[in-house]
Chain A
Amino acid sequence: MSTTQFTYEGTRGFYPGHRACAGCGQATAVRLVMEVAGPNVVVANATGCLEVFSTPHPESAWGVPWIHSLFENHPAVASGLEAALKKQGRLEHTRVLCFGGDGATLDIGFGALSGMFERNHDVLYVCMDNEAYMNTGVQRSGSTPFAASTTTSPAGKRSFGEDRPKKDLPSIAAAHGIPYVATTSMALFADVKRKAKRALETRGAKYIQIHVPCPPGWGYDDKLSIDIGKLAVECGLYPLVEWENGEVVRVRKIKQVPVEEYLKTQRRFRHLFRGDDGKAQIAEIQALADANVKKFGLVD
């Protein structure tokens, strides 16, 4: 074992020493994106896990210029960054990134996000989708999948958990006609990097939604993040699709495993496996997965 001191200074966009949970999907996802993005970027970040675990003053894990304002205005802040860089003639060489969680993206920041897309600002928006308001304690968001138990949609005697399906933000983003939209998963890191690279080769508004498993929020052992992330893709619940200018251009084919393989790994779905009551929900979830398979042609 080498005893040479590890050095990090000046090497990267995102440094160790941040306070993410062990095994955090977002931390890996951010590192992947920042590796592709390089040093010539400015980042606008919403309030959320990523912002909180990376910037407790006076510590910052960011090696690139970075700004956090509020929970729902980061797309507008990114728009302002882009407009200023454009006017200053710096946009050619300095790219604008915008990070937000699923709550910030699908719910509270929805209006500002839509405005940014509609004006087609040259910004790459990356949504860290862990499917709930994780930073504040696992409350449900518009991205929480059907029948998941969260702290505001808990499974109980009269409830099977979240009673609405996941809001399809990638399709909404694509409906704006922006140059590039993609879904990906932190479990497939080459896919994340390819899509980040593809996005950054494009000028105009881009949206990438990264599925990021969350050990405490979903209820599983830290080290299983990759396995569970892969299952989400393979069962069809998280289709990996790319749109360009509003049209689907590529999908990642899957072998399709039953959704139960995915659901049984996480505490947030465990209530579906107690007795017979959960079977109806599992069937509905399977139907959602099958619908994705059909819609995007995920299975050969």
Chain B
Amino acid sequence: MRKMIEGSRAVAEAVALCRPEVISAYPITPQTHIVEELSQIVADGELDCEYVRVESEHSAASVCLGAVAAGSRAYSATTSQGMLLMVEVLYNIAGMRLPLVITGVNRAISAPLNIWNDQQDTMAIRDTGWLQLYGENNQEVLDMHLQAYKISEDDRVLLPVMVCMDGFILTHTYETVDVPTQAEADAFLPPYKPLYYLDPKDPYTLGAYAGPELYQEVRYVIQRDCLASKEVVKEVARDFKAAFGRWYGDVIDTYRADDAEMLFIAMGSVIGTMRDWVDAKRAAGEKVGLIKLRCYRPFPAEELVEAVSGAKRVVVLEKAVSMGGYGIVTVELQAALYGQKRQPAVHGVVLGLGGRDVTMETLDEAKQRAEAGEPYFWAGMRSEVLEEA
């Protein structure tokens, strides 16, 4: 059913369609509307689940961990500081191979305190073993939640999935979305059938410690399965298209990239702006194109290498920074290109931090400075502010 609702509401409705049995919620801007909408849905009897109002994000993730270990589908959402607070639990959930979906509302990290959008938070957890999918608009984010559970619970994966959506830009924006019916959702996403769970009828011990003679192999298997989950991400995207007719690319998507001389790569809502910008450049005769990185973990190295190989120059736009180091996605792309026959010049650009708007002008600046040869730079800076520094 098509309706004009806030992004957060779209997520809440998608999650409700997935029939979680336990939801844990701790509020943090700009995730709050998601958990509020879900609590209203539960309060009105539209979703039969246990809604646990926890006392911290560390506990929010832990409640989900316990619930999944007991055999129930679970859900939570968080952002920024909350995501960092639950980091050790995120490692734990992935390490214990428990399927789970959490909405990662992308927001800047303190200090200084900032509640607006960037992607530093989910970049900070890229090593945890969680799969990460980035949505461009509210429809895609809605659909991603159904896909995410299906991917996560697949016994070839058994890794948790974070659905990343830009805070405020998507969560607090009203867009028209097509919400599946419960029957359609049920047909696409059957009930969770755990491979192992806590039951006195068949007792297990979960979370035993592993000594030096075992730990490395266990971690190896996680990495192996995480990399292999790329195929399941693609499979589920195809299944979703077959069921609902909507397609966003599987691990990447491209726009006017085939004959592009200069390619721009980004994740999340900025892709929407970039599509318009690419059209404007093309209209002016510039051969630019864009690649939307939809699945960041596992990193789709082969797909990206193939997509960029025809271009002369690739510009990776990042709403994050690795302090003291280089770019994040930029460096991973460079690693994927290492030793390849065709190597475009790769540039990394930091932009859009702390809710700094990424405009057509910002994108122009990124293009010009990359063409001038700058390998790694920050765009959209306010020089008058920097002068005071």
Contacts and interface: CB of A to CB of B under 8 A. Distances in A.
A56 B206 contact: no
Contacts of A151: none
A55 B62 contact: no
Interface in B39-83: 48-50, 52-56, 58-72, 74
A64 B54 contact: no
A77 B208 contact: no
B55 A78 contact: no
Interface in A85-131: 85-88, 94, 111-112, 114-115, 118-119
B284 to A, nearest CB: 55
Interface residues of B, number: 44
B316 interface: no
Contacts of A251: none
A42 B211 contact: no
Given A52-B209, A68-B206, A77-B66, A83 B52 contact: yes
Chain A residues touching B, majority SS: mixed
Contacts of B66: 44, 67, 69, 76-84
Given A69-B65, A69-B92, A114 B200 contact: no
B370 interface: no
A83 B214 CA distance: 33
B214 A77 contact: no
B172 to A, nearest CB: 28
Contacts of B206: 66-68
B199 interface: yes
A287 interface: no
A41 interface: yes
A265 interface: no
A60 interface: yes
A81 B62 contact: no
B72 A88 contact: yes
A78 B24 CA distance: 13
A76 B210 CA distance: 23
Contacts of A58: 208
B50 A62 contact: no
Nearest to A82: B66
A83 B59 contact: no
B62 A69 contact: yes
A87 B55 contact: no
A65 interface: yes
Contacts of A63: 203
A77 B198 CA distance: 12
A69 B67 CA distance: 12
A41 B204 CA distance: 12
Contacts of A78: 66
Contact of B55 (A60, A65, A112): A112
Given A76-B62, A80-B70, A112-B58, A68 B207 contact: yes
A22 interface: no
B89 interface: yes
A81 B70 contact: yes
A46 to B, nearest CB: 11
Contacts of B68: 80, 84
Nearest to B93: A69
Given A57-B214, A111-B56, A112-B56, A66 B205 contact: yes
Interface string B183-212: 000000000000000111001111111110
Contact of A88 (B58, B64, B70, B210): B70
Given A64-B203, A88-B71, A118 B209 contact: no
Contacts of A64: 200, 203
Contacts of B61: 73
Given A44-B66, A55-B207, A77-B63, A84 B58 contact: no
B263 interface: no
A66 B66 CA distance: 11
Which 9 A-B residue pairings sit nearest by Cβ, starting from the closest? Answer: A80-B66, A115-B55, A68-B207, A76-B62, A76-B59, A65-B198, A84-B70, A84-B72, A73-B62
11 contacts: A63-B203, A65-B198, A65-B205, A66-B203, A67-B206, A67-B207, A68-B209, A84-B67, A84-B72, A88-B71, A119-B53
Given A56-B208, A80-B24, A112-B58, 8 more contacts: A55-B207, A59-B208, A68-B206, A80-B67, A83-B22, A83-B50, A84-B22, A88-B70
